[in-house]
Amino acid sequence: MNPYVKQFLHRGLTFGGFGPVIVGIVYAVLQEALPGFALSGWEVLLAILSTYLLAFVQAGVSVFNQIEHWPLAKSILCHFGCLYVAYSVCYLANTWIPFEPMVLLIFTGIFVLAYLIIWLTVFFIVRSTRNRLNRRLAQ
Protein backbone atom coordinates (compact mmCIF):
# COMPACT_ATOMS: atom_id res chain seq x y z
CA MET A 1 0.00 0.00 0.00
CA ASN A 2 1.22 3.51 -0.82
CA PRO A 3 2.75 4.97 2.37
CA TYR A 4 0.83 8.25 1.94
CA VAL A 5 -2.50 6.44 1.60
CA LYS A 6 -1.61 4.41 4.68
CA GLN A 7 -0.79 7.61 6.63
CA PHE A 8 -4.02 9.25 5.42
CA LEU A 9 -6.10 6.30 6.62
CA HIS A 10 -4.22 6.01 9.92
CA ARG A 11 -4.61 9.71 10.74
CA GLY A 12 -8.24 9.70 9.72
CA LEU A 13 -9.05 6.67 11.87
CA THR A 14 -7.09 8.09 14.79
CA PHE A 15 -8.80 11.49 14.86
CA GLY A 16 -12.15 10.81 13.16
CA GLY A 17 -13.92 10.26 16.47
CA PHE A 18 -13.56 13.91 17.40
CA GLY A 19 -16.25 14.90 14.87
CA PRO A 20 -19.12 13.08 16.61
CA VAL A 21 -17.96 14.38 19.99
CA ILE A 22 -18.07 17.94 18.68
CA VAL A 23 -21.51 17.48 17.10
CA GLY A 24 -22.75 16.07 20.41
CA ILE A 25 -21.49 19.11 22.27
CA VAL A 26 -23.02 21.50 19.72
CA TYR A 27 -26.40 19.76 19.89
CA ALA A 28 -26.30 19.73 23.70
CA VAL A 29 -25.64 23.48 23.74
CA LEU A 30 -28.43 24.07 21.21
CA GLN A 31 -30.83 22.03 23.32
CA GLU A 32 -30.03 24.17 26.37
CA ALA A 33 -30.15 27.46 24.46
CA LEU A 34 -33.20 26.94 22.23
CA PRO A 35 -36.54 26.06 23.78
CA GLY A 36 -38.15 23.14 21.98
CA PHE A 37 -34.99 22.16 20.08
CA ALA A 38 -35.31 18.56 18.95
CA LEU A 39 -33.81 16.29 16.32
CA SER A 40 -35.00 13.03 14.84
CA GLY A 41 -32.92 9.91 15.15
CA TRP A 42 -32.05 10.13 11.44
CA GLU A 43 -30.84 13.72 11.82
CA VAL A 44 -28.60 12.71 14.70
CA LEU A 45 -27.27 9.69 12.80
CA LEU A 46 -26.54 11.79 9.70
CA ALA A 47 -24.76 14.41 11.82
CA ILE A 48 -22.66 11.79 13.57
CA LEU A 49 -21.67 10.00 10.34
CA SER A 50 -20.97 13.17 8.38
CA THR A 51 -18.93 14.82 11.15
CA TYR A 52 -16.96 11.59 11.57
CA LEU A 53 -16.20 11.69 7.85
CA LEU A 54 -15.34 15.39 8.10
CA ALA A 55 -12.92 14.82 10.99
CA PHE A 56 -11.47 11.77 9.19
CA VAL A 57 -10.75 13.82 6.05
CA GLN A 58 -9.50 16.81 8.07
CA ALA A 59 -6.93 14.64 9.84
CA GLY A 60 -6.00 12.62 6.77
CA VAL A 61 -5.35 15.43 4.31
CA SER A 62 -2.42 16.69 6.36
CA VAL A 63 -0.46 13.98 4.54
CA PHE A 64 -0.47 16.15 1.39
CA ASN A 65 1.93 18.55 3.12
CA GLN A 66 4.46 15.75 3.59
CA ILE A 67 4.78 14.53 0.01
CA GLU A 68 8.18 16.09 -0.60
CA HIS A 69 8.34 15.49 -4.34
CA TRP A 70 5.12 17.47 -4.90
CA PRO A 71 5.30 21.19 -5.61
CA LEU A 72 3.86 23.35 -2.83
CA ALA A 73 1.03 24.58 -5.08
CA LYS A 74 -0.11 21.00 -5.82
CA SER A 75 -0.03 20.09 -2.14
CA ILE A 76 -2.05 23.15 -1.15
CA LEU A 77 -4.56 22.65 -3.97
CA CYS A 78 -5.17 18.99 -3.04
CA HIS A 79 -5.43 19.88 0.65
CA PHE A 80 -7.84 22.75 -0.06
CA GLY A 81 -9.92 20.75 -2.55
CA CYS A 82 -10.41 17.77 -0.25
CA LEU A 83 -11.37 19.98 2.68
CA TYR A 84 -13.73 22.10 0.59
CA VAL A 85 -15.54 19.06 -0.80
CA ALA A 86 -15.78 17.41 2.65
CA TYR A 87 -17.12 20.54 4.37
CA SER A 88 -19.52 21.35 1.52
CA VAL A 89 -20.98 17.85 1.44
CA CYS A 90 -21.27 17.72 5.24
CA TYR A 91 -22.99 21.12 5.50
CA LEU A 92 -25.37 20.39 2.61
CA ALA A 93 -26.22 16.86 3.75
CA ASN A 94 -27.13 18.11 7.22
CA THR A 95 -29.00 21.11 5.75
CA TRP A 96 -26.80 23.41 7.82
CA ILE A 97 -26.73 25.52 4.66
CA PRO A 98 -29.39 25.40 1.94
CA PHE A 99 -28.55 24.24 -1.58
CA GLU A 100 -28.88 27.67 -3.19
CA PRO A 101 -26.34 29.31 -5.53
CA MET A 102 -25.95 32.52 -3.47
CA VAL A 103 -25.55 30.61 -0.21
CA LEU A 104 -22.97 28.32 -1.80
CA LEU A 105 -21.10 31.35 -3.14
CA ILE A 106 -21.06 32.97 0.31
CA PHE A 107 -19.99 29.67 1.90
CA THR A 108 -17.20 29.32 -0.67
CA GLY A 109 -16.01 32.88 -0.06
CA ILE A 110 -15.92 32.39 3.70
CA PHE A 111 -14.19 29.02 3.31
CA VAL A 112 -11.51 30.46 1.00
CA LEU A 113 -10.92 33.42 3.31
CA ALA A 114 -10.66 31.22 6.42
CA TYR A 115 -8.36 28.78 4.61
CA LEU A 116 -6.07 31.60 3.47
CA ILE A 117 -5.91 33.15 6.94
CA ILE A 118 -5.06 29.83 8.57
CA TRP A 119 -2.55 28.83 5.87
CA LEU A 120 -0.79 32.21 5.90
CA THR A 121 -0.66 32.21 9.70
CA VAL A 122 0.98 28.78 9.72
CA PHE A 123 3.34 29.81 6.89
CA PHE A 124 4.57 32.93 8.69
CA ILE A 125 4.98 31.10 12.02
CA VAL A 126 7.00 28.33 10.36
CA ARG A 127 9.11 30.88 8.45
CA SER A 128 9.77 32.87 11.62
CA THR A 129 10.74 29.72 13.51
CA ARG A 130 13.01 28.61 10.67
CA ASN A 131 14.75 32.01 10.57
CA ARG A 132 15.23 32.02 14.34
CA LEU A 133 16.72 28.51 14.27
CA ASN A 134 19.00 29.39 11.37
CA ARG A 135 20.28 32.46 13.27
CA ARG A 136 21.03 30.26 16.30
CA LEU A 137 22.87 27.74 14.14
CA ALA A 138 24.95 30.50 12.53
CA GLN A 139 26.24 31.72 15.91
pLDDT at 125: 95
Q: Are 48 and 114 contained in the same domain? A: no
Q: DSSP labels for 22-76?
A: HHHHHHHHHHHHSTT----HHHHHHHHHHHHHHHHHHHHGGGGGG-TTS-HHHHH
User: Among residues of the chain, what percentage have pLDDT more than 90?
Assistant: 46
Task: Look at 14-23, 32-41, 109-118 and tell me which has the smallest mean pLDDT.
Answer: 14-23
Q: At what angle do helices 3-15 and 41-60 cross, to 10 degrees?
A: 140
The predicted structure's pLDDT at residue 128: 93
pTM of the model: 0.78
87 shares its domain with 22: yes
Same domain, yes or no, for 25 and 41? yes
Do 79 and 19 share a structural domain?
yes
Looking at the structure, tell me whether residues 102 and 87 fall in a common domain: no
Structural domain harbouring 84: 1-96
Same domain, 46 and 103: no
pLDDT in tens, 33-88: 988 888 888 988 898 889 888 888 988 898 998 888 999 899 999 999 999 999 99
Query: What's the longest Cα–Cα distance across the chain?
Result: 65
Distance CA 137, CA 69 (A): 27
